[in-house]
Amino acid sequence: MRARACACEGEEGRAEARVSRRSATLLPVSARVPLRHPRFHWAQRDVFIRRVVADCMTHECRLVRHGDRLKLDACCQYGADVDVGERDRIRARAGEIARLLVPAAADHAWFTTEERIDPDFPSGRHVRTTRFGDGCVFLAHDRRGCAIHRAAIEGGWDMRGTKPHVCRLFPLSYDSESIVLSDDYTDYSCAYDPSAPTLYQVGRDTLGDIFGAELVAAMDEAEKAILGAGLAAIA
C-alpha cells in the first residue's frame, strides 16, 4: 500500500497530502512531456525516469531529509484529501474498518467536517482524513499500511472507489491538465533504490483504473518517446 499525493504546507507548517497544485506547465519545457489526451496535456518527465520501490510494505521507509530517521508508512503521516464520494463509501464500510482500528481511533472522527470545492476531484468536493497520534487515523491498527486497504483484502471486496484515489496514486499526483510527481516524493527512501522500477511502471495500472485506458495509451506513447531519446531511468 502506498499513500498520498502532493505534500503542501499546512497551517502548522507540516506537509499535507493532496492533489498537486504544481502544474507541469510551470516546469521548464525540458522537464515536461506533451500528452495526446483530452484532459491531461502534459506529464512531468521524471515520472518516466525516476524510480520508486514497488511494494512499500516490504520497505523500511526512512526520512532522508530528517537524519535518515526510520519512519514506516511515512507518506501516510499527514493524512490525505478524500473525495466526498470516497468518504461516503468509507463510511458505508465503517464497521469493517473500525474493527481493525485501535478503539480510540475507531471512536475518533475520521474526516474533517469542511467540504472544500475543487473541480479536480471526481465529485468536485473533498474533505481530509484526520490525524491520530503521529499519522493518518487509518494507520492506527496492529499492522503496517492503511486499514481501508486491509479491510478490503480481509473482506474480499474491491478497494477501488473507496480507498482515496490520491493515496492509490502516490507518489504520482495530478492537477487539471498534468500528471506530476508528488512534492514529497524525494523525502522518502523509497525514491532512491536503484533496482526499483520507474514511477510510471509502478503507477500505470492505477492511472488506468482512475483515469481510463486513453490516458495509459497517451502515457505509454510519452514513455516510448522518453526512452527512445536515450534517457535512462535513475534512482
pLDDT tens-digit series, residues 217-232: 999 999 999 988 776 5
Q: What is the mean pLDDT of residues 150-171?
A: 97
Cell of 150: 486491509
Residue 22 has pLDDT above 60, yes or no: no
pLDDT tens-digit series, residues 86-135: 999 999 999 999 999 999 999 999 999 999 999 999 999 999 999 999 99
β-pair type (135-136, 32-34): unpaired
Alpha-carbon distance of 159 to 71, in angstroms, equals 25
- The pLDDT > 90 percentage for the chain reads 82
Alpha-carbon distance of 192 to 13, in angstroms, equals 25
- The pLDDT > 70 percentage for the chain reads 86
CA angle 96, 75, 217 (to 5 degrees): 90
Q: What is the mean pLDDT of residues 16-38?
A: 74
pLDDT tens-digit series, residues 39-76: 999 999 999 999 999 998 899 999 999 999 999 999 99
| Residue 61 neighbours by CB under 8 Å, 6+ apart | 70, 71, 72, 73, 74, 75, 188, 189, 190
Find out whether 190 and 198 touch, Cβ atoms under 8 Å: no
Residue 187 has pLDDT above 70, yes or no: yes
Alpha-carbon distance of 223 to 167, in angstroms, equals 23
> At 1, is the pLDDT very low, low, confident or very high (cuts 50, 70, 90)?
very low
Per-residue confidence (pLDDT) for residue 8, from 0 to 100: 37
Q: Residue type for 75, please?
A: C
Cell of 54: 514497488
Quick check: helix, strand or coil at residue 26? helix
Q: What is the mean pLDDT of residues 207-219?
A: 98
> At 27, is the pLDDT very low, low, confident or very high (cuts 50, 70, 90)?
confident
Let me know how long the chain is: 235
**Residue 116, Cβ density class (10 Å: 0-12 exposed, 13-18 middle, ≥19 buried):** middle
Per-residue confidence (pLDDT) for residue 19, from 0 to 100: 60
pTM of this prediction exceeds 0.75: yes
Residue with cell 503507477: 203
DSSP states of 149-181 as a string?
A: HHHHHHHT---TTTS-HHHHHTTEEE-SSEEEE
